[in-house]
A and B are shown apart, each in its own frame.
Chain A
Amino acid sequence: MARMQVVLLLEIAKESHHTTTFRFRADFGGSAGQFVMVWIPHHDELPMALSYLGPVKGITVHAYGDATKAFLDFRPGDRIGVRGPYGNTFKLEGEKVLAVAGGTGMASVIAAIEAFAQQGAEVTTAVGARTAEELLFVDRASASGEVHVSTDDGTRGFHGFVPALAAKLMEKHKFDQILTCGPERMMKLVVDEARTRGVKVQASLERYMKCGIGICDACAFDDKLVCVDGPVFTGAQLASSRDFGTYRRSKDGRRVAL
């Protein structure tokens, strides 16, 4: 079993008014797309994608709930618990890749953008946010390939949602593979677009989790588990899904609308 490690927070970087990256050293591996369970002492334990791989890992956190807001008060030298890495990974399939990220979904996709570029793929990124200030990791993505930006309010780049931007890119270029992470209804549009064009697609899903290790059934997604069968699912898997883009499970296990 993967024992929880209590680690010191090293650097803490504010990415936008609501999103912060925490760096820490942990002696476990981790590949693009994988997540860790992060214990914010006295508050909660939550699944978070690794936004930085390697010995000094990173998680990039959108403060939207009580625990993630409390996390903002943590400083370098404070301690958190981490266990993992868990879940499957984004897989490189082909030469030309389009990464489509919405909001904090970029935290998961950026690791794949960097890893795939290192493996020699030509990676194009479409990254979207509500407004320019909330765009995540544009510089990091630019260091790995071409980047296209969209904002819902038009403060930077394409004025509109990122799936529309991605569709335009797919119209113009032939990609071997699409990766996506972001709000699920956004991903649904990207997956549908890719499938219509016959392009392979992988999407990283988010669900409430308790265990992270495939036993508690909290993250049930159809008859699969996001924690061990995912978080990355293929377009073929998602095409036959009843839950994708439609349902999630509440903390008490009820199937509720997304």
Chain B
Amino acid sequence: MVDLRTEIAGVRLRNPTMLASGFLDETGGSLVRVFRAGAGAVVTKSIGPEPREGYANPTVVELDAGLLNAVGLPNPGIEEFQQELKEALAGKAVIIGSVYGKDAAEYAKVASRMADAGVVAIEMNLSCPHAKGLGTEIAQSEEAVKEFTRAVKDAVDLPVFPKLSPNVADIASFALAAERGGADGIVAINTVKAMAISPELRMPILANRYGGLSGPAIRPIGVRAVYDIYEKVDIPVIGVGGVDSGIAALEYIMAGASAVQIGTALVGQGLGVFERVTKEMGSVLEDVGFKGVLEAVGVAHG
């Protein structure tokens, strides 16, 4: 039996699959349901200090190779979200709280409330590619990534994982900036800035025009990003982008990730995807001679 347990900055998980932020994670009921379906941990929707409705529809475009979205960070705000967290924690889910804000102080405030509620770690959404003034600019500045990470680290006694944008020339230097800000791990990648147009209607489909692409189309970009980050920093990496099978997850693991997140694959596979991916990782690892998933982390670097 291959040991599929993993550990990221002291957070121990029963398996290396996590629910990616933005999917089925705005309500306590959904978080528990996904955890019970087999995810090692569940990351919440990105929560800010105040309620936010997000963008007008269309917010989602289904594509052959993935999903384009500009949902626009809808969330009930951290105070209202406490009740959802309480329900999720009562259901024994392992929860990572995703936070955003318009400045470092807001990130720190929301993270601190998340910590009070009992999450095991904080993910910082530094890189939502389509929400104006909420992450995009931060994600484009190494100095801001470092400063924001530091502010959150100072506010909580939990591991902090900044989630980085691939929409930069050199993602590894941003990972380094986060590490210097005190990050305990790196989540990579957020969605890739993208657009879809209706030729019949001569206009972009998303109400926000621009969105973020996820799913299999971006997996090679994510795997490359994790590979680059692993070379540059000493903290663990969580890989995300197009994981829809055990093989895909192992690409990330061997590039250097200690765990993976899954989101878009839920559309085609439903909640069974976490168990399926975990099981397949086990059989492939056994097949190629590994005793545990942690043994395989980063082996592609030779």
User: Measuring CB to CB, which residues of chain A are less than 8 angstroms from any residue of chain B?
Assistant: 1-4, 6, 37, 39, 41-42, 44-46, 79, 81, 83, 210-218, 220, 222-225, 228, 249-255
Interface centre among B22, B57, B266, by most chain A C-beta atoms within 10 angstroms, is: B57
B133 within 8 A of A: no
Instruction: Kindly list 16 other residue pairs between chains A and B, CB separation below 8 angstroms, not including A44-B207, A215-B22.
Output: A1-B64, A3-B63, A41-B203, A81-B201, A214-B24, A214-B267, A216-B26, A220-B26, A220-B30, A250-B51, A251-B53, A253-B45, A253-B74, A254-B76, A254-B80, A255-B27
Task: List chain A residues, Cβ under 8 A from B27.
Answer: 217, 220, 223, 249, 253, 255
In angstroms, Cα B51 to Cα A232, docked, is: 29
Interface centre among A44, A46, A251, by most chain B C-beta atoms within 10 angstroms, is: A251
Report the 5 A-B pairs with minimum CB-CB distance, sorted nearest first. Answer: A223-B29, A45-B57, A1-B62, A217-B26, A251-B53
Closest residue of chain A to B200 (Cβ to Cβ) is A6
B23 within 8 A of A: yes
Instruction: State the Cβ distance, B292 to closest chain A Cβ, in Å.
Output: 31
Are B77 and A252 in contact (CB-based, < 8 A)?
A: yes
Are A81 and B267 in contact (CB-based, < 8 A)?
A: no
In angstroms, Cα B67 to Cα A210, docked, is: 13
In angstroms, Cα B227 to Cα A158, docked, is: 71
CB within 8 Å of A: which of B44-82?
45, 51-54, 56-64, 67, 69, 71, 74-77, 80
User: Measuring CB to CB, which residues of chain B are less than 8 angstroms from any residue of chain A?
Assistant: 22-27, 29-30, 32-33, 45, 51-54, 56-64, 67, 69, 71, 74-77, 80, 83, 198, 200-201, 203, 205, 207, 263-264, 266-268, 270
A-B residue pairs in contact (CB < 8 Å), sample of 30: A1-B64, A4-B198, A4-B205, A39-B57, A46-B57, A81-B201, A81-B205, A83-B62, A211-B69, A213-B62, A214-B266, A215-B24, A215-B60, A215-B267, A216-B59, A216-B71, A218-B26, A223-B29, A223-B30, A224-B29, A225-B24, A250-B51, A252-B52, A252-B53, A252-B75, A252-B77, A253-B26, A253-B80, A254-B76, A255-B27
Are A210 and B71 in contact (CB-based, < 8 A)?
A: yes
Instruction: State the Cβ distance, A247 to closest chain B Cβ, in Å.
Output: 11
Interface centre among B22, B45, B58, B267, by most chain A C-beta atoms within 10 angstroms, is: B58
Are A214 and B61 in contact (CB-based, < 8 A)?
A: no
Interface centre among B83, B201, B203, by most chain A C-beta atoms within 10 angstroms, is: B201
In angstroms, Cα B31 to Cα A220, docked, is: 11
Are B25 and A217 in contact (CB-based, < 8 A)?
A: yes
Task: List chain B residues, Cβ under 8 A from A210.
Answer: 54, 57, 59-60, 71, 74
Task: List chain A residues, Cβ under 8 A from B67.
Answer: 1, 215
Q: A1-B267, A253-B76 are in contact. Are A223 and B201 (CB under 8 A)?
A: no
Are B62 and A214 in contact (CB-based, < 8 A)?
A: no
Task: List chain B residues, Cβ under 8 A from A4.
Answer: 58, 61-62, 198, 205
Q: A251-B53, A252-B77 are in contact. Are A217 and B45 (CB under 8 A)?
A: yes
Task: List chain A residues, Cβ under 8 A from B201.
Answer: 6, 41, 79, 81
Are A212 and B60 in contact (CB-based, < 8 A)?
A: yes
Instruction: State the Cβ distance, A91 to closest chain B Cβ, in Å.
Output: 20
Are A223 and B33 in contact (CB-based, < 8 A)?
A: yes
